[in-house]
Amino acid sequence: MGFELTPSTVEAWLREMDEHQLEQLWREADRVRRENVGDTVHLRGLIEISNHCCRLCGYCGLRADNRGLERYRMSREEILQCAQMARDLGFGTVVMQAGEDYGITRDWLADIIREIKRRHPDLAITLSLGERPDEDLLAWKNAGADRYLLRFETSDPDLYALIHPPAPGRTLSDRIAQLKRMREMGYEIGSGIMVGIPGQTYSMVARDILLFRELDLDMIGMGPYISHPATPLARMEPADPRAAERIRLPMPAPEGEQVPNSELMTYKVVALTRLACPEANIPSTTALATLNLAQGRELGLQRGANIVMPNLTPVTYRRLYEIYPAKACIAETPDQCYVCLKSRILRIGREIGTGPGGRRRLTSTVT
């Protein structure tokens, strides 16, 4: 099979089970990765700054009505200490991620962003804080934030409506429109999907991958969907009963159509995404390491990915950031996490990046 990417060829690759064929796919993804973003693996220090959330996403353990979860929000001082640690360990980027938490106010976070940039001017700042109003996003951009991650999770409008109820008093959200607005504001933008959401079909994932290309994303994150018992999707139920009245979509999808939430399927999506978006920054995610602790991250890096995100969240909070259960590396200190990841990267013959590692855009030569 060739590597021209159309909805039907991408779908055929997703269904491919022949080992020799897949070996070709891994090799091609690895070649395209090397030629476009090189052998450097960039480290993004992840700080999970709060697990409060006002939303009711059907897949996520942080959802507002999960009363079994003890909630936390890191202090300004704790966040600044994590940024310092990122610098001490030589990382070029920190990623501040949280539930959609309006206890994280516009001004409070803008002040923290300014302070990080004052202390560490070369440290890139990425935010991943959900569907915040444009005023917040603009204020944070002006304070010095560089990038924003917001996965669209699935490009299928029906599946999205079933798993992603609107914010209280609002209409169905449009994450793709938000991504476009953030690009206008000057952010580098990242998005992505979960692989194997109940109800997600092969043709949906093929369209997701082609949409990554159409959106010209700077960063693309994808990991296997992992069921969390405190969520409706674990019971194969839609998260939005009102959407379910008008949308008929079987969960899971019929036999032969449902995308498995497997390790192998995630590698296929990573590899095809690299072919669709040669220059994008693509992480080998924690969710992949959760399915295969021994090898998951390395195989991701060898099948298209070029980024890893060591966790800098203080150990006391880490177990509480439970978007899905049994997350990998939950008891490790940031130093241990760094040492482990570094040796994994070097062992597969790759280098560790030192700069911010923004997207490398092709510069046109002026003659």
Nearer to ligand SAH, 25 or 197 (CB): 197
Extended beta strands in 129-252, E state: 147-149, 188-195, 219-224
Output the six-digit token pair for 242.
């009102």
Q: DSSP label at 73?
A: B
Q: Does 323 bind ligand SAH (CB under 6 A)?
A: yes
CA–CA gap between residue 116 and residue 273 (Å, rounded): 32
Nearer to ligand SAH, 95 or 271 (CB): 95
Rg value, the chain, Cα: 19
Residue span binding ligand SAH (CB under 6 A) among the ranges 31-39, 148-156, 249-257, 306-314: 148-156
Nearer to ligand SAH, 147 or 350 (CB): 147
Binder of ligand SAH out of 137, 204, 215, 287 (CB under 6 A):
287
Nearer to ligand SAH, 25 or 53 (CB): 53
In the bound complex, what is the minimum distance in angstroms from residue 49's beta carbon to ligand SAH? Answer: 11
Binder of ligand SAH out of 151, 207, 342, 359 (CB under 6 A):
151
CA–CA gap between residue 26 and residue 299 (Å, rounded): 9
Residue span binding ligand SAH (CB under 6 A) among the ranges 92-100, 115-123, 180-188, 339-347: 92-100
Give the dihedral of Cα atoms 36, 40, 41, 45; nearest 10 deg: -110
Can you give the three-state secondary structure of 275-306, one letter per residue? Answer: HHCCCCECECCHHHHHHCCCCHHHHHHHCCCC
In the bound complex, what is the minimum distance in angstroms from residue 130's beta carbon to ligand SAH? Answer: 4
Please choose, from the candidates 191, 115, 126, 137, the residue with its C-alpha nearest in 3D space to the C-alpha of residue 160.
191
Binder of ligand SAH out of 45, 58, 99, 198 (CB under 6 A):
99
Residues lying near ligand SAH in the complex (CB under 6 A) are found at 59-60, 97, 99-100, 128, 130, 150-151, 153, 194, 223, 225-226, 228, 287, 323-324
